[in-house]
Amino acid sequence: MKVLVLGGAGYIGSHICKALAARGDTPIVFDNFSAGHRDSVRWGPLVEGDIGNAADLDTAFLEHAPDAVMHFAASIEVGIGEREPLAFWRNNVAGALSVLDRMAKHGCEVFVFSSTCAVYGQPEHLPITEAETRKPHNVYGRTKLAVEQALEDISRSGKLRYATLRYFNAAGASPDAEIGERHDPETHLIPNVLKAAAGLSDELQLFGDDYPTPDGSCVRDFIHVDDLAQGHLSAVDRLLAGEDSFCCNLGTGHGTSVQQVISAVERVTGLPVPRTVHPRREGDAAELYADTSLSRELLGFSPSRSDIDTIVEDAWRFHKKDWGV
Ligand SMILES: NC(=O)c1ccc[n+]([C@@H]2O[C@H](COP(=O)([O-])OP(=O)(O)OC[C@H]3O[C@@H](n4cnc5c(N)ncnc54)[C@H](O)[C@@H]3O)[C@@H](O)[C@H]2O)c1
């Protein structure tokens, strides 16, 4: 099987490429390197291009005739989205429509979309099921919701089948430390806690210790990037086997607090994490964790590396190598 992996030089996309290759499939990476890394393209051919550029996409479809498309290419930093909404809508929404347009032109009918739990905003129920009302409270989440809705409409033509996968907090790294998380700016918790532990940044800023949670810090659902990769393989297999479009959460089903992440980092690294407590950030929900019943039922999704110590151990192994510490 040949899979066109849009954004395949990025964090999650590169782990999916590695997983595809490990089972004998060919990942074709398509990336403009706005955030990706050339040394993460290791498991198949590269087409350098921009998803907003029809000619670039045509090159990928004509040269490689993929059986399916997996779409990771997006602008992801929530704060930048608030400052530059037009750029976010252009890349995340117009970019996705450009991809769907070229897929229709080249007769490619299977699409796996990276969505996010940010589409739920402040959920009314926990754990969060796929039936939760979608009311994102930031530009990033609204652009992802717009693509979800476009897929729902466009697939009614019968020419497109899609899987919308709503990830919770992707974390960890390849256990062999070959690839891992390298965002710039890095806004994700685990790399930043590790950086503080390693003495590579100032104190960790902990936002809010007065949430109505057991230890007062926010609770999130951390899912290992290799578990996410297995979820993508199952999703594309399901669609290629002729099943209908679907949408499901990819998480573990249980929450881990920011304080518990800090404790795990101290346990794994043996280093203290210097931190300062700041007021809550506007818009941060107290608790977000997935109901995983549907992903279990549709995909047989069963995370195996997503306990917090394993995630932190894998991330630490990668970062020690990457940072040279
Ligand atoms: N990291 C998470 O915790 C998380 C959670 C939920 C959803 N997601 C979604 O998963 C996807 C991947 O996230 P990530 O953390 O790997 O991000 P990333 O920034 O590491 O990877 C995105 C890749 O897409 C490429 N790209 C961006 N715009 C492009 C364009 N116009 N044309 C071609 N390539 C382009 C970048 O160069 C980069 O290689 C994103 O769609 C993100 O919204 C991530």
Q: Where are the domains of the chain?
A: 2-171+222-250, 189-220+253-323
Give the pLDDT of residue 75.
Answer: 98
> Which has the closest alpha carbon to 169: 85, 64, 287?
287
Q: How many Cα neighbours within 13 Å face the side chain of 286?
A: 12
Tell me what the pLDDT averaged over the chain comes to: 97
Reply yes or no on whether the pLDDT at 151 is more than 90: yes
Percentage of the chain exceeding pLDDT 90: 98
pLDDT digit string, tens, across residues 50-83: 999 999 999 999 999 999 999 999 999 999 999 9
Reply yes or no on whether the pLDDT at 249 is more than 90: yes
Q: What is the distance in A from the centroid of ligand 1 to the CA of 197? A: 26
Q: How many Cβ atoms are within 10 Å of 139's Cβ, its own excluded?
A: 23
- The superfamily CATH assigns to domain 2-171+222-250 is NAD(P)-binding Rossmann-like Domain (3.40.50.720)
pLDDT confidence bin for 8, thresholds 50/70/90: very high
Reply yes or no on whether the pLDDT at 283 is more than 90: no
Q: Which atom from ligand 1 is nearest to the alpha carbon of 167? A: 6
The residue nearest atom 21 of ligand 1, judged by CA position, is 10
189-215 mean pLDDT: 96
Taking the C-alpha atoms of residue 52 and residue 141, their distance in angstroms, rounded to an integer, is 20
Percentage of the chain exceeding pLDDT 70: 100
pLDDT digit string, tens, across residues 122-149: 999 999 999 999 999 999 999 999 999 9
144-157 mean pLDDT: 97
Taking the C-alpha atoms of residue 81 and residue 139, their distance in angstroms, rounded to an integer, is 6
Taking the C-alpha atoms of residue 185 and residue 77, their distance in angstroms, rounded to an integer, is 8
Reply yes or no on whether the pLDDT at 204 is more than 90: yes
212-222 mean pLDDT: 97
Residue with tokens 């086997």: 241
109-119 mean pLDDT: 98
Q: What is the distance in A from the centroid of ligand 1 to the CA of 73? A: 5
> Which has the closest alpha carbon to 191: 213, 169, 216?
169
Active site residue 11: no
Classify residue 203 as left (phi > 0), alpha (psi -120 to 50) or beta: beta
DSSP one-letter code for 182: -
Give the pLDDT of residue 301.
Answer: 98
The residue nearest atom 42 of ligand 1, judged by CA position, is 76
144-171 mean pLDDT: 97
* Beta strand 204-207 pairing with 222-224: unpaired
Reply yes or no on whether the pLDDT at 157 is more than 90: no
Whole-angstrom CA distances from 249 to 114, 119, 214 are: 11, 11, 24
What CATH number is given for 189-220+253-323 in this structure? 3.90.25.10
Ligand 1 surroundings by CB, under 6 angstroms:
7, 9-13, 31-36, 50-52, 72-74, 76, 91, 95, 114, 116, 167, 169-170, 183
pLDDT digit string, tens, across residues 295-314: 999 999 999 999 999 999 99
- This prediction's pTM: 0.98
Q: Which atom from ligand 1 is nearest to the alpha carbon of 76? A: 43
